[in-house]
Each structure stands twice: as C-alpha cells, then as structure tokens.
Structure 1
Amino acid sequence: MAYIRPILKGAAAFGGSFVAVFAGLTVAADVCPYYIDTVSGGSMKPTLNPRDNGTRDRVLAKRLTMEQADKLQRGDIVDATNPRNPHGDKVVKRIIALPGDSVLTPRYHDEVVKIPRYHCWVEGDHPETSADSNYYGPIPVELVHGKVMFVVWPPTRLGRLAERDLSGPDAHKMSTVLHHTPLPR
C-alpha cells in the first residue's frame, strides 16, 4: 500500500483526474461486453494466424455470461480457459458439438462421445496442430469467456470472421456430430 501513496499524491496534484480516469477504465473493463485478445499458435489455421511469419492475430470477442452460454452454436469460434492449464493458457477453438450431441471423434480415446449438460466439444481448424477436445474431452461452458467476432490486427486481415464450411476437404480430420438428443431441463 505504501507504493500507492505517491501515485495518489501525484493524482491529487492534478485535481484527481488520474484517479478518475483509472477508476473509469477499471469499471469499463468489467462491464464492457467486448474485449480484444491475441491468438497464439497455429491450431486455428487458416481461419486465424494463417501466416507462418510469427504475426499473431488480434481478435475482438464478445464476452459471454453463464446466462448467454445457451446461445452458443456449432461453428462459433470461442475464447476459453485451457482445461488442462486453468491458471495459465487460454485457447481459441471452434465449437463442434453442444450438450446432447453425440460426436464421432477421429482422435479421442472414445470413438463416440455424448456431450453432457453444460459442456461443449471444441476443436481447432488445423487438426494436426490442435490440442483440443480430442485431447482433453468436452469442456465446461463456464470455461468459455467469449465468442470471437472479428480480426482487428493485423490491418491487412481486418474484418468479420467468415463461417467455415465444416464439410470441406479437412472435414474427415474433424469430429462429426452424429445426432442430437435434447437434454431435459
């Protein structure tokens, strides 16, 4: 606390404007529905980080609350806490399956997985380099922080994320939803 006093004294000399701005930014960060995140790695190629030159995409994501989790859809790209490292890494992945879905998985230890209530199945668009639900299984939706909407950096990639055709040439490498069984509420 002693290191904060000089800052507050300096802020008082400027009429408290520093404190007001700092407090305003802190509150805005907690209530703003959008945030910017950096995408690391190549697991979402070609959708995100398509170049091999070390440039990392910055994305705009819409913050999700638990009440909004039921609005997630198959194909959404989400920013989530890594279930294997909850105090460190975050992951950006595509939702493949939702609660009640049965998934045929090409790389998980169970060939068919039923997605439990309050969970989802996520995968990277580049299966060869993606540590995803094929590695750690379905993830709790409470680990999902937001839905990725736009690429905001680099400027040459600025724009809304296009929906990916999940039946394209790499579809055989991704999990497939076999059927959906509605879960009782």
Structure 2
Amino acid sequence: MVVVGALVVAVLVRTFAFEQFWIPSPSMSNTLVRNDRVLVNKLAYEVHGVHRGDVVVFERPKNQEGTIKDLIKRVVGLPGEHVSIMGGTVRIDGRVLDEPYTDGLETEANVGCGLGDTKGIDTEAGLRIPAGHVLVLGDNRVNSQDGRCFGPIDEDSIVGRAFVIIWPPSKMGGL
C-alpha cells in the first residue's frame, strides 16, 4: 500500500508541480548544454507573472517545425514592450538589454528560420509584444531557433520555469 501511495504522490507531483526536462540542443549554451537536465516548476506562474530573464519551458509553436514537443529559452521581451535588435544588441523600449548569459555573442535580428511575425524587430521602433505574450531567445544567439523564428509566444503555452540544473552532478545548482 505504501508503494502505491508513493507512486500516486510521484505522479501528482510530476503532473502538477515539478518535472525534469532534458536539453536536446546547444541553443542555450553556455547556460545549459546538450544533455543537461533541469527541474521545472510548473506552478511558478500561478503565483506570479513571467519575468525578464526567466528560463522557461514552453510548447513548440505551431508555426515551428520539429519533433521535440517542448522547447527551452530565456524570456527577453514582456507584454507591451517594444523589442528591437540592432547593432548586435537587444533593446527593450530603446534601452540596450544587459545580457551576460550570451557570453558576448552578438544577436542578429533576421535569422530566416521560421514563419513567425517579427516585423519591426530590426528597427528602432521595434517589435511590439502583444498582451499575454513574451519574446524568448536562446542564450546561444548564433545557434538558436527562437522568437526570431516563431515570434512572441503565448504565455499560456509556458509549461513552467526552469530553476535548477539537476544533471550532470558537476553543474548542479540554480539557474
């Protein structure tokens, strides 16, 4: 009976609270590299809103081809903001965004990898992020199919916030 109870609790926790995710690509390097595993808090956004800098797992946008169901990227643009990418940098409402996690890699605006609406992202006016949406980018800006490909994502598609690396043991720790 104890084993059955433990299994029920485990299933409930995984379904509603926490889940581990495997990193399948180098798009979040050097923060996360291929084969890292992270723990995702699926209840985080029930308690508070999405914050810039959060590393989130979300359902692959319908306009993005691929076989992996869920993607992981960093939140850069929030609802109502204007995001522009010019001169190799990301700007939020005209101000350059400090992004130490990119390790100095420049960000190109038009990477030609999808059908998402990113009109204006390469202008001073910027791409306006609609209500209920966020713009996500990979930390590895030269090798990431991200919001520059599929546009802003609906906040309802976010599975949760990655908050800790659980594998490999040498990298265990918070994000």
Matched, 1:30 2:37: no
Given that 1:99 and 1:118 are in contact with CA atoms closer than 8 Å, whether structure 2 keeps it comes out as: yes
Compare CA radii of gyration and give the structure with the larger one: 1
Q: 1:28 is matched by which residue type in structure 2?
A: V
Given that 1:64 and 1:144 are in contact with CA atoms closer than 8 Å, whether structure 2 keeps it comes out as: no
Q: 1:131 is matched by which residue type in structure 2?
A: Q
Stretches of structure 1 lacking an aligned partner (at least 5 in a row): 1-15, 50-54, 162-185
Structure scoring higher RCO (CA < 8 A, sep ≥ 6) equals 2
Q: What CA deviation, in whole Å up to 9, does each residue of 1:70-128 have, x standing for no partner?
A: 52111111111110259842111000010010000322553221000000000001111
Given that 1:43 and 1:130 are in contact with CA atoms closer than 8 Å, whether structure 2 keeps it comes out as: yes
Instruction: Find runs of 4+ consecutive structure 1 residues off by over 6 angstroms.
Output: none
Q: 1:59 is matched by which residue type in structure 2?
A: V
Stretches of structure 2 lacking an aligned partner (at least 5 in a row): 86-108, 111-117
Length-normalised TM-score, structure 1: 0.66
What is the rounded CA distance, in whole Å, between the counterparts of 1:38 and 1:23 in structure 2? 23
Matched, 1:138 2:118: no
Given that 2:57 and 2:71 are in contact with CA atoms closer than 8 Å, whether structure 1 keeps it comes out as: yes
Structure 2 residue corresponding to 1:126, chosen from 129, 140, 154: 140
What is the rounded CA distance, in whole Å, between the counterparts of 1:86 and 1:20 in structure 2? 37
Q: 1:29 is matched by which residue type in structure 2?
A: R
Q: Once the two structures are aligned, what percentage of the paired residues are identical?
A: 28
Count of residue pairs brought into register by the alignment? 139
The residue number in structure 2 matching 1:13 is: none
Local SS of the residue matching 1:147 = strand
TM superposition shift of 1:28? 3.3
Q: 1:129 to 1:87 in 2, by over 3 A?
A: closer
Q: 1:45 to 1:88 in 2, by over 3 A?
A: closer
Output the aligned Cα RMSD.
2.3
